[in-house]
Amino acid sequence: MKRVLYAWELGGGLGHVSRFLPLAQALGERDCAISWALTDPAPAATLLGKRAGPLWQTPVFRAQVTGLPEPQLAYSEVLMHHGYLSAATLTPLLRDWRALIEAADPDLVITDHAPTALLAARSLKRACARIGTGFCCPPAQDPEPPMLAWMPPDPARRAESGRLVLASINAALAAVGAEPLATLAQMHLADEDFVTTYAELDHYPLRAAPRWGVVLGTEGGVAPAWPVVHGARVFVYLRAWQPQTLPLLRALRRKHCAVLAYCPGLAPAQRAEFEGPAMRFSDQPLDIEAVASSCDLVVCGGGHGTVCAALLAGRPVLIAPDVVEQGITSRNVEALGAGLSALVGQEGRVGGLLTRLLMEPGFARAAQGFRARHAGSSQAQIVRGIADRCVELMTSPLAPRPP
């Protein structure tokens, strides 16, 4: 039996673990045992249940870093917030990841937005693959590509950020007796890149590497139970602490829609304000394919899986982003014509945005166009292709890794 370590380091929510579950199932059918390194243990209880294998707490840099330039223009500037600002903070993370990998002793490490796990796996000469959205899998390019295409280019700043992060990485690698990287691009090299997105939604639209298509994590989600009222069906997946959440719920109540909402962290008093015949809250994550295919509109924070599920079902999206990754996704969806953005600080506009999405047919037509373009590959085909390639990585001789 082959051993696979799923390693998740950065980001939050259910999306990371949920989208790996179909692949874990497929690998199990191929006689592979899965162990899990999770930055947030909540998904284990929510999604894994009795199927969980060995479970590890991910080494994570949790200190708050201040004084860095905003917005973040490149992935190196994201990493500065997560321990890569100096070797003093990165070295213990790298050591802890190496110790975890050695203890798990996997035949393959699959990293999900886990740059330090990837560094550790390569430094230990372990077979490794990356999986994730475009944002989680930056291209291995030198110079480092920009993240925010709409911002004025600042190549000098990106180059300086890249030099600083590369210096931290090489000092940390030297501290554990590993070979240095020649360029920052080498930190993104793996034996295989499973970029699970589509060209229209990729955070790096000029990527040369192939995209496998999204893996939708439906396992563990409950079937939708819609309110029995007249009106458009709107699925809401927002976190309670987002500033757009309450204004959006109030606006939806005024629209007389049938609303099914999953809002983790919503206080009982807040929930009581909205719950009624036309608005129902779920205590558990929903089966995203089932809820997307049965609604008229999806309102979400911009999680990649939720957005993809909506568009693959031909449904328009209202995105309320609160992090850089979601902001890029919302702009990509707007460029498609399949949705609109409810930005922080513009909560007074949400009613008008909802009206447009519910009344103007162009948004649904654009979403249906996306669905038609990507109807050729089923979820089963995508998962099967990734699982088969993972098995190849564990059973075939691997090409020598770059130094």
Q: Output the CA–CA distances (angstroms, integers) from residue 256 to 34, 275, 295, in the order listed.
A: 46, 13, 15
Amino acid identity for residue 181 in this structure:
L
Q: Domain range holding 323?
A: 233-373
Kindly tell me if the per-residue pLDDT of 401 is higher than 60: no
Chain segment 155-172, per-residue pLDDT in tens = 999 999 999 999 999 999
SS3 258: strand
Give Cα 31 distance to the centre of its chain: 27
In a domain, 222, yes or no: no
Mean confidence (pLDDT) of the chain: 93
Which residues contact residue 360 at a Cβ distance below 8 angstroms, ignoring those fewer than 6 apart? none
Chain segment 260-289, per-residue pLDDT in tens = 999 999 999 999 999 999 999 999 889 999
| Residue among 161, 192, 167 at smallest CA distance from 181 | 167
- Specify whether the CB–CB gap between 263 and 281 falls below 8 A: yes
- Same-domain pairing of 354 and 390: no
Tokens 């007074």, residue located: 348
- Same-domain pairing of 105 and 135: yes
In a domain, 401, yes or no: no
Q: Output the CA–CA distances (angstroms, integers) from residue 243 to 87, 186, 280, 300, 388, in the order listed.
A: 36, 38, 20, 13, 43
- Same-domain pairing of 199 and 292: no
Chain segment 32-84, per-residue pLDDT in tens = 999 999 998 777 777 787 677 899 999 999 898 999 988 899 999 999 999 99
CA distance 365 to 211: 24
Q: pLDDT at position 383, please? A: 96
- State the pLDDT confidence band at 220, using cuts at 50, 70 and 90: low
Please state, as a whole number, how many other Cβ atoms lie within 10 Å of the Cβ of residue 38: 22
- Same-domain pairing of 281 and 198: no
- Same-domain pairing of 39 and 68: yes
The CATH number of the domain where 244 resides is what?
A: 3.40.50.2000
SS3 238: coil
- Same-domain pairing of 127 and 180: yes
CA distance 40 to 167: 29
Amino acid identity for residue 366 in this structure:
A
Please, which contacts does 168-172 make with residues 24 or more away whose CB atoms are closer than 8 Å? 168/84, 168/85, 168/86, 168/87, 168/89, 168/90, 169/84, 169/90, 169/119, 171/87, 171/90, 171/91, 172/87, 172/90, 172/91, 172/93, 172/94, 172/119
In a domain, 368, yes or no: yes
Kindly tell me if the per-residue pLDDT of 21 is higher than 60: yes
In a domain, 55, yes or no: yes
- Same-domain pairing of 180 and 240: no
CA distance 58 to 65: 20
Q: pLDDT at position 149, please? A: 84
SS3 134: coil
- Same-domain pairing of 12 and 118: yes
Beta-bridged to residue 259, according to DSSP, are 234, 279
Cis amide linkage into residue 41, ω under 30° from 0? no
DSSP 222: B
Taking residues 327-343, report their average pLDDT. Answer: 97
Number of domains in the chain: 2
- Same-domain pairing of 32 and 69: yes
- Same-domain pairing of 124 and 261: no
